[in-house]
């Protein structure tokens, strides 16, 4: 499991300009069941994506497809972690992903 932590490095008007393409990127990976959740940071300085991919190499390939990454809108930090405890709802969602 990976946390993608995005930090905007360009002004919000630039973020807004590439937001539709970024949302398409998100939708594509939700359909593949790779993204579990995503959203804006508060205050709006970037965003977070929870990604369930196999390894760091795959996480980097996914990251490199994001228009925010390609257009240097956001800086990415990828954090790998192994969930050791989770809610039943989260476990059910993960179970659906592996079917």
Q: Where are the domains of the chain?
A: 2-97
How do residues 29-85 score in pLDDT, each as one tens digit? 999 999 999 999 999 999 999 999 999 999 999 999 999 999 999 999 999 999 888
To the nearest 10°, report the CA torsion of 16, 22, 24, 25: 180
Q: Looking at the whole model, is its pTM more than 0.95?
A: no
Instruction: List the CATH code of the domain at 2-97.
Output: 3.30.70.1060
**How far is the CA of 42 from the CAs of 7, 16, 26, 39, 58, in angstroms?**
11, 16, 19, 10, 28
Q: Residue 97: pLDDT band by 50, 70, 90 thresholds?
A: low
User: In the predicted model, is pLDDT for residue 92 greater than 80?
Assistant: no
- Which ranges in 42-99 belong to alpha helices (H)? 56-65, 67-70, 88-97
**Which of 15-19, 77-81, 84-88 shows the lowest per-residue confidence on average (mean pLDDT)?**
84-88
**CA–CA dist 49, 37 (Å, integer):** 6
Instruction: Calculate mean pLDDT across residues 13-39.
Output: 96
Predicted pLDDT at 95: 66
Predicted pLDDT at 98: 53
């Amino acid at each position: 499991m990976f946390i993608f932590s995005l930090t905007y490095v360009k002004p919000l008007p630039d973020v807004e300009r590439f937001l539709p393409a970024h949302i398409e990127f998100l939708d594509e990976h939700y359909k593949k069941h790779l993204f579990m959740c995503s959203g804006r940071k508060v205050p709006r300085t970037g965003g977070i994506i929870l990604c369930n991919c196999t390894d760091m190499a795959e996480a980097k390939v996914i990251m490199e497809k994001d228009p925010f990454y390609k257009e240097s809108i956001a800086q990415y930090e990828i954090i790998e972690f192994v969930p050791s405890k989770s809610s039943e709802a989260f476990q059910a969602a993960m179970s659906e992903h592996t079917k």
